[in-house]
Amino acid sequence: MTHQIALNFEDGVTRFVAANAGETVADAAYRQGINIPLDCRDGACGTCKCFAEAGRYELGEEYIDDALTADEAEQGFVLTCQMRALSDCVVRVPASSEVCRTAQATFDATISAVRQLSDSTIALSIKGEALGKLAFLPGQYVNLGVPGSEQSRAYSFSSLQRDGEVSFLIRNVPGGLMSSFLTGLAKAGDPMRLAGPLGSFYLRDIRRPLLLLAGGTGLAPFTAMLEKIAEQGSTHPLHLIYGVTNDFDLVEIDRLEAFAARIPNFSFSACVANPDSRHPLKGYVTQHIEPKHLNHGDVDVYLCGPPPMVEAVSQFIRDQGIAPANFYYEKFAASAA
């Protein structure tokens, strides 16, 4: 039996390798062209030390304390020359992808659907045989090449990959390069190139309640995460607060309702900031965070949206005097170009 190991490098690049039964993660990576820094390969030097963020594995008893202390092993540090996976795993490698002589993967595909959900939001799906091999962690993003230009833009997956198809939720920025392409020229069958997956904003093992906070198309990574949670289940409460500026920015409510019907512990609320809104729930995301959602700090918070929203919500949580057990965020920064 093989297990998928996601190797997350310091520069945000993720590569997936398949580890055979009994094979060490370092050997599996090497076999697939990725050189995790190694020295002794014997559990003695500690050079191959990484951090296991998710999954089950065994380290055996062949390594020495100088290479990995019991305390480190308890925290989740691993020696990849000793680590044998017992399930799919996510491993953070403290080196750049370049040092490990691996590169961001690129995939050629075609647009399978492009649909304007509202004036401000576009749903895009891309399909291709090559994408059948695209593995990513829900919450991650890719760089999509803008057809007819040398430029690319970052977009978070809004779905899991199914039969070589992936989807995105894209804000229509007036005059923007990708926005203009998608609202003007794009049609099914157009070629599109993807590079990735990338990013450290992804769903970890669910060990406590989750509070998910989305601003605008910052909803995208959460719908991918919810697809995953719907498949694997969760025994912990999960609450999403989705905030937008105007009524027409509010999209995918049907999909969220379907998740709420399918995932027993999942609830959500959606709010609109514009005071003239006809939506029943008004205001900013922060106005709808209740003490029970922060659970005295025993909560993992995931936050995604435009940079000012991410700053405001982070500040709000700090002001509550509560430090969540884990706090992950993604800012949808405008491209430098």
Ligand X SMILES: Cc1cc2nc3c(=O)[nH]c(=O)nc-3n(C[C@H](O)[C@H](O)[C@H](O)COP(=O)(O)OP(=O)(O)OC[C@H]3O[C@@H](n4cnc5c(N)ncnc54)[C@H](O)[C@@H]3O)c2cc1C
Q: Please report whether residue 333 would count as binding ligand X according to CB under 6 A.
A: yes
Number of residues that bind ligand FES (CB under 6 A): 14
Judged by CB under 6 A, which stretch of 36-44, 223-231, 270-278, 301-309 contacts ligand FES?
A: 36-44
Query: Taking CB under 6 A as the rule, which mask of x and - marks residues 51-90 in contact with ligand FES?
Result: ----------------x-----------x-x---------
Please report where in the chains the tokens 């090449």 appear, as a residue.
Answer: 145
Say whether 311 sits in a helix, a strand or coil: helix
What is the spatial distance between Cα 214 and Cα 237, in angstroms, rounded to a whole number? 17
Conformational region of residue 195, where left means phi above 0, alpha means psi within -120 to 50, and beta covers everything else: beta
Q: Are strands 3-9 and 89-93 parallel, antiparallel or unpaired?
A: parallel
Positive or negative: CA dihedral 50, 236, 137, 313: negative
State the residue number with the nearest CB to ligand X: 176
What is the spatial distance between Cα 334 and Cα 306, in angstroms, rounded to a whole number? 9
Q: Which is nearer to ligand FES, 79 or 226 (CB)?
A: 79
Q: Please report whether residue 38 would count as binding ligand FES according to CB under 6 A.
A: yes
Say whether 3 sits in a helix, a strand or coil: strand
φ and ψ at residue 336, rounded to 5 degrees:
-60, -35
Q: Which is nearer to ligand X, 174 or 321 (CB)?
A: 174
Q: Which of 170, 161, 150, 158 is nearest to 127 (CA)?
A: 161
The CB-of-10 to ligand FES minimum distance in angstroms stands at: 18
Task: Out of 52, 100, 178, 272, name the contact with ligand X by CB under 6 A.
Answer: 178
What is the spatial distance between Cα 264 and Cα 229, in angstroms, rounded to a whole number? 11
Kindly give, in sequence order, each residue whose CB lies less than 8 Å from that of residue 311, ignoring residues fewer than 6 positions away: none
What is the spatial distance between Cα 6 and Cα 261, in angstroms, rounded to a whole number? 30
Task: Out of 41, 208, 228, 279, name the contact with ligand FES by CB under 6 A.
Answer: 41
Q: Which is nearer to ligand X, 55 or 145 (CB)?
A: 145
Q: Which of 267, 285, 254 is nearest to 210 (CA)?
A: 267
Q: Please report whether residue 217 would count as binding ligand X according to CB under 6 A.
A: yes
Q: Please report whether residue 176 would count as binding ligand X according to CB under 6 A.
A: yes
The CB-of-318 to ligand X minimum distance in angstroms stands at: 23
Q: Please report whether residue 12 would count as binding ligand X according to CB under 6 A.
A: no
The CB-of-245 to ligand X minimum distance in angstroms stands at: 10
The CB-of-99 to ligand FES minimum distance in angstroms stands at: 15
Q: Which residues bind ligand X (CB under 6 A)?
A: 141, 153-156, 168-171, 173, 175-179, 199, 217, 220, 306, 330, 332-335
Binding site for ligand FES (CB under 6 A): 38-48, 67, 79, 81
